[in-house]
Amino acid sequence: MSATPSAIQSVLVENRVFPPSESMVKAARISGMEGYNALCAEAENDFEGFWARLARENVVWTKPFTQTLDESNAPFYKWFDDGELNASANCLDKHMGTPNENKTAVIFEADDGTVTKTTYKELLAKVSQFANALAAKGIQKGDRVLIYMPMTLEGVIAMQACARIGATHSVVFGGFSSKAVQERIMDAGAVAVITANFQMRGGKQLPLKAIVDEGLNLGGCESVKTVFVYERTASPCNMVAGRDVTFTEALEGQSTECAPVSVGAEHPLFILFTSGSTGKPKGVQHATGGFLLWSKMTMDWTFDLKADDVFWCTADIGWVTGHAYVAYGPLAAGATQIIFEGVPTYPNAGRFWQMIERHKCTIFYTAPTAIRSLIKAAESDEKVHPDRSDLTSLRILGSVGEPINPEAWMWYYKNIGGERCPIVDTFWQTETGGHMITPLPGATPLVPGSCTLPLPGIMAAIVDEGGNDVPNGSGGLLVIKRPWPSMIRTIWNDPDRFKKSYFPDELGGTVYLAGDGAVRSEDRGYFRITGRIDDVLNVSGHRMGTMEIESALVAKSDLVAEAAVVGRPDDVTGEAICAFVVLKRPCPTGDEAKAIAKELRDWVAKEIGPIAKPKDIRFGENLPKTRSGKIMRRLLRSLAKGESITQDTSTLENPAILDQLGQTY
């Protein structure tokens, strides 16, 4: 290919289009673009009526709502405010007395390959029993409960049991550190913690209870009265008398019936903490009615759910994807779902494909990072290549967590979907509570690397910094112009930060700012996400604020004077963390630099969690700053990527540092 400007340009334009098959269009819940356009027109013409209809048709209310949307205190929007319901009853009780009662709700595959199946009826009994155990310890409506669990059925039971008694759960991903657990307990004012003695990942036993103990011992957690411990393995763990109780002890003598507690539609179902770009984690608060409605709707629409589907979302319950598409959505929709405890590479990198064959999975939903690492594995070892497994049960593939690059999309489409399964590339966030922009399998022509069009009722747009719409083909800020039911309600304990972060005055104070840049294609108006507009990194689909990692590095006060963190593109994880560090001692080189880099990585893993470990560490006598003392992050990004420095560096106090910072350890 000759390197003409037009040829280079065309790399950015994706010309491959894959329309849905005729049979898919015929059988789909939203059939063809006519079906999609009809729903969009309904939402356009009667916005409140559209959402009210969906909420009446898809949610079981104990007290029907009369008010759909309350905008009187924007941006603190309320949906279905005078209605009452229970989230757990909408996932379990409603199936009793229907054919779903004895249907398998969960196929659980443990790390070692053991498979356990649980019906809807059995799951209801387990959730009710655990809800009674919570109530017996004095936990009641409005209390907050922190959940720090492995990816087992018990984690979902814990979430559902909290919802059943009207307690608000806050799940913390099992890979986070004791410090992260302590901060979240303090911020949420949790009265109890639900954890396990250990978790099993890749054949290894990893501690959970010990990390909870460590977090509680850091102080400020006096609100916690009870710690429930699920004994995942036979290994003993420390138990504090009077505070800690095993699941076996807690469940003893508890009835398997527990009447669900009705709560108002706006009652907080959960708080999920995300890394903020400014260091302190943000507690994203979600409301019961809106979140439940949208989890159920998107199961039906995005995944085109059918009664006989076997659905598998590989996300952990510690992330929002595991809330919407493991703990609530599939159960509200009456699906059979797979829950997997382990990792995709154990005992070998063909585990996902072997499990799809074993359980006859029909809808598979995972992250681009997992796909990219499995491409690598499949190409280096044919024994784990997906073509060794029978994947013909699959009908729909999904992608979540970050934009998927077109080449990974094509590999996924060909090797996993056999060129017959549409890929729903879903754009959404912790804050949006469910899918926002995504193709529909029986309607949308697919373009690799594009999340295509907003779902009906979601008024997405791209604007410039003044809030004016930009023409197709030009990039700008992704915004949502009207509220939607599953949106974030506030940041727990910090309404000002909520307004500033998501509804900035510059855009009028009622428009949601997603924090991502995007562009719409000139031909179809399809959306493509171009990346974060602030300093939030997306590593393996996990969003982390650069500030948080910088703060952790600087907290190593015996060594580190200053640190700046940027992202660079990475083939496997999407973005890799690159840290530029100034030490309180002379700039190290060679083996000494390697040893200090290892010490700093281990420190960050301990402070935040292994996911935040910098891939690259570079040392310099100082950091490149402007005259006003601002760190030149743009320059650091170029260094991290290995680009030649073309920008003006005359303002640098010490140009020699560019060479120092060029060396990676």
Q: Name the band, by pLDDT with cuts 50, 70 and 90, for residue 375.
A: confident
CA angle 379, 404, 319 (to 5 degrees): 105
Q: Length of the chain in residues, anyone?
A: 665
Q: Name the band, by pLDDT with cuts 50, 70 and 90, for residue 606.
A: confident
Give residue for tokens 């340009």. Answer: 9
Q: State mean pLDDT over 23-28.
A: 96
pLDDT computed for residue 1 by the predictor = 31
Which SS3 state, helix, strand or coil, does residue 348 take? coil
**Above 90 in pLDDT, residue 275?**
no
Q: Is the peptide bond before 75 cis (omega within 30 degrees of 0)?
A: yes
Q: State mean pLDDT over 301-320.
A: 97
pLDDT computed for residue 425 by the predictor = 97
Mean pLDDT of the chain: 92
Q: State mean pLDDT over 239-245.
A: 98
**Above 60 in pLDDT, residue 11?**
no
**Above 60 in pLDDT, residue 13?**
no
C-alpha distance from residue 353 to each of 203, 337, 365 (Å): 19, 16, 13
Instruction: Say which DSSP state 312 is in.
Output: E
Q: State mean pLDDT over 251-264.
A: 98
Reading the block at residue 628, the tokens are 């006003």
Q: Name the band, by pLDDT with cuts 50, 70 and 90, for residue 278.
A: very low
Q: State mean pLDDT over 287-302.
A: 98
pLDDT computed for residue 649 by the predictor = 65
608 or 2, which is more confident? 608
- Taking alpha carbons only, the member of 359, 286, 364 closest to residue 328 is 286
Instruction: Say which DSSP state 58 is in.
Output: H
pLDDT computed for residue 617 by the predictor = 96
Q: What percent of the chain has pLDDT over 90?
A: 75
Reading the block at residue 58, the tokens are 């898809």
CA 503 to chain centre: 21
Helix axes 47-58, 288-301, angle to 10 degrees: 90
pLDDT computed for residue 630 by the predictor = 63
351 or 372, which is more confident? 351
Type of residue at 546? T
DSSP E strands in 84-231: the ranges are: 84-85, 104-109, 115-119, 144-148, 168-171, 192-196, 198-201, 204-207, 226-230
Cβ burial of 56 (10 Å; 0-12, 13-18, 19+) is: middle
pLDDT computed for residue 647 by the predictor = 65
Inter-residue contact 509 to 74 (CB < 8 Å): yes
Q: State mean pLDDT over 268-292.
A: 86
Which pTM does this prediction carry?
A: 0.87
d(CA 155, CA 327): 9
Least confident residue range of 214-218, 263-267, 491-495, 645-649 = 645-649
pLDDT computed for residue 237 by the predictor = 97
503 or 474, which is more confident? 503
Provide the H-helix boundaries in 137-190: 153-165, 178-188
pLDDT tens-digit profile of 629-658?
667 777 888 888 888 777 666 556 677 788
pLDDT tens-digit profile of 38-73?
999 999 999 999 999 999 999 999 999 999 999 999
Query: Beta-carbon neighbour count of residue 216 at 10 Å?
Result: 20
β-pairing, 168-171 with 363-366?
unpaired
Q: What percent of the chain has pLDDT over 70?
A: 94
**Above 90 in pLDDT, residue 193?**
yes
d(CA 404, CA 70): 36
Q: State mean pLDDT over 452-477.
A: 92
Q: State mean pLDDT over 430-452.
A: 96
pLDDT computed for residue 402 by the predictor = 83
pLDDT computed for residue 595 by the predictor = 95
pLDDT computed for residue 512 by the predictor = 98
